[in-house]
């Protein structure tokens, strides 16, 4: 559960309407039941003198005073309620002034939401907001009419293509809720859900940074020893695009270091015998990088080795409405491949690999692209760990059941 300022405003107005409704309902039904019981036909009772007669215009009945009183009474209640509404509507529609207000663009599509934060950070499975800050939502759609609702906040607004509607909320407490779509938008309307998380300001900042970092690159650990006679092993392999953490161990009797040649141009300081040093770098481009042992003064000491950076096997993945085409669905355990993912559909898609789950937390998956707008491409690297079968699917709600779910075969080396 999670609440916003609008929650209390709505609840109190609803309770007012409900109370008056129940009171009026009970009064009317009581009067009705009283009438029915009191004036039920009894055997032998005379028929009222003015009973309707076929084909005759019935005589007039009715006191104008009673009718006017009824109209006025109803009118007074209704106008009281109407003014309660107008008061509440201003509170629900007008965001309080907040110089730190966060603007999030909410775009509905079949069948998900994209939440775009300042700086272009896009989230599709959850909308995350900091506590105590006004969050302004600018809601629209890229295809049909959707309706963005956060029941816990008591807010909802239609997402209409070609039109931007605004909504706001501010939560005083962290918590978790959900969004639902409340306008029929196609086959998978019911699946169109996302998570709402209100978190502390620092957690929000961390989330935003992580989201903004783009797809995570796979990291590999490599190790090399500097010996008296040279490097062991003399040759290392890495895959283009991965993050490498290279552990350098000095197995020689004197201080030694290691220098990496162009284009990296990195070097360890002198390592005492038996000690370790770490070099962290991205194997950005394919090619060969020289590994040069150095002495305490940084001069070359002994024969050089080689780090071979190889381009991974590229596999084209096409995301269409609503199927996934993978050029080669056979992977080898331990072999890093590069998925070149293109959205050729009309709807945003993404591409997830791992064990299929409809959980919205994409961090549990082995690899995932961000949400891709139609026509956009992205490359992601993936290294299957062990032989077996993996799922590959589009994580936009409902798309998997429309056909965007397939498998990848991983064979042993």
Residue numbers 100-129 binding other proteins by CB under 8 A: 110
Q: Does 28 bind other proteins (CB under 8 A)?
A: yes
Sign of the CA dihedral running 347, 353, 359, 360 = negative
Which span (15-23, 245-253, 273-281, 325-333) binds other proteins, by CB under 8 A?
Answer: 15-23
- Kindly report the number of other CB atoms within 10 A of residue 60's CB atom: 6
Provide the minimum distance between the beta carbon of 200 and other proteins in the complex, in angstroms, as a whole number.
Answer: 26
Among 103, 116, 151, 286, binds other proteins (CB under 8 A): 151
Among 8, 172, 187, 311, binds other proteins (CB under 8 A): 187
Which span (43-51, 254-262, 332-340, 389-397) binds other proteins, by CB under 8 A?
Answer: 43-51
Which 47-86 residues touch other proteins, going by CB under 8 A?
47-48, 50-64, 66-67, 70-71, 73-75, 77-79, 81-82, 84-86
Measured CA to CA, the distance from residue 10 to residue 21 in angstroms comes to: 16
Query: Of 315, 381, 311, 382, whose CA–CA distance to 342 is shortest?
Result: 315
Provide the minimum distance between the beta carbon of 23 and other proteins in the complex, in angstroms, as a whole number.
Answer: 10
Query: Which CB atom, from 40 or from 363, has the smaller least distance to other proteins?
Result: 40
Among 18, 254, 284, 327, binds other proteins (CB under 8 A): 18
Which span (161-169, 268-276, 287-295, 300-308) binds other proteins, by CB under 8 A?
Answer: 161-169
Query: Which CB atom, from 143 or from 379, has the smaller least distance to other proteins?
Result: 143
Q: Give the three-class secondary structure for 89.
A: helix
Query: Which CB atom, from 189 or from 259, has the smaller least distance to other proteins?
Result: 189
Which 312-371 residues touch other proteins, going by CB under 8 A?
346
In the chain, what is the straight-line distance between the N-terminal and C-terminal CA atoms, in Å? Answer: 48
Q: Does 8 bind other proteins (CB under 8 A)?
A: no
Residues 6+ apart with CB under 8 A from 370: 122, 124, 214, 215, 350, 378
Alpha-carbon distances of 257 from 253, 268, 281, 294, rounded to whole Å: 12, 5, 17, 5
Among 1, 45, 97, 386, binds other proteins (CB under 8 A): 45
Sign of the CA dihedral running 120, 127, 391, 282 = positive
Measured CA to CA, the distance from residue 9 to residue 90 in angstroms comes to: 10
Query: Which CB atom, from 73 or from 274, has the smaller least distance to other proteins?
Result: 73
Sign of the CA dihedral running 311, 316, 319, 322 = negative
Among 103, 122, 131, 145, binds other proteins (CB under 8 A): 145
Q: Does 200 bind other proteins (CB under 8 A)?
A: no
Tokens found for residue 257: 């270091």
Quickly list H helices, 63-193.
64-93
């Amino acid at each position: 559960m999670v609440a916003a300022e609008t929650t209390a405003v709505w609840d109190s107005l609803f309770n007012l309407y409900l109370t008056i409704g129940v009171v009026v309902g009970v009064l009317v039904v009581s009067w009705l039941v009283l009438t029915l019981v009191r004036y039920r036909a009894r055997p032998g009772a005379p028929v009222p003198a003015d009973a309707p007669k076929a084909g005759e215009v019935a005589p007039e009945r009715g006191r104008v005073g009673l009718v006017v009183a009824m109209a006025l009474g109803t009118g007074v209640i209704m106008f009281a309620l109407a003014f309660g509404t107008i008061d509440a509507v201003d509170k629900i529609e007008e965001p309080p002034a907040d110089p730190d207000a966060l603007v999030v663009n909410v775009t509905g599509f079949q069948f998900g939401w994209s939440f775009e934060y300042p700086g272009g950070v896009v989230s599709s499975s959850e909308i995350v907001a900091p506590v105590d800050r006004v969050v302004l939502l600018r809601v629209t759609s890229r295809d049909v009419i959707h309706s963005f609702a956060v029941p816990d906040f008591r807010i909802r607004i239609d997402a209409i293509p070609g039109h931007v509607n605004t909504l706001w909320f501010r939560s005083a407490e962290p918590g978790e809720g959900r969004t639902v779509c409340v306008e029929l938008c196609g086959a998978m309307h019911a699946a169109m859900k996302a998570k709402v998380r209100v978190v502390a300001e620092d957690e929000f900042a961390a989330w935003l940074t992580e989201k903004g970092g783009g797809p995570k690159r796979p990291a590999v650990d490599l190790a090399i020893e500097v010996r008296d006679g040279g490097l062991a092993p003399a040759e290392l392999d890495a895959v283009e695009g991965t993050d490498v953490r290279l552990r350098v161990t000095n197995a020689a009797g004197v201080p030694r270091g290691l220098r990496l040649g162009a284009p990296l141009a990195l070097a360890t300081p002198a390592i005492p015998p038996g000690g370790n040093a770490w070099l962290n770098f991205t194997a950005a481009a394919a090619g060969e990088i020289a590994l040069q042992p150095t002495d305490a003064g940084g001069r070359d000491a002994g024969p050089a080795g080689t780090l071979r950076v190889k381009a991974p096997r590229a596999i084209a993945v096409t995301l269409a409405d609503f199927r996934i085409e993978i050029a080669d669905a056979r992977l080898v355990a331990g072999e890093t491949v590069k998925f070149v993912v293109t959205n050729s559909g009309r709807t945003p898609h993404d591409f997830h690999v791992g064990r299929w789950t409809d959980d919205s937390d994409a961090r549990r998956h082995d690899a995932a692209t961000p949400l891709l707008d139609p026509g956009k491409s992205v490359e992601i690297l993936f290294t299957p760990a062990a032989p077996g079968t993996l799922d590959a699917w589009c994580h936009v709600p409902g798309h998997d059941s429309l056909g965007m779910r397939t498998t990848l075969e991983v064979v042993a080396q």
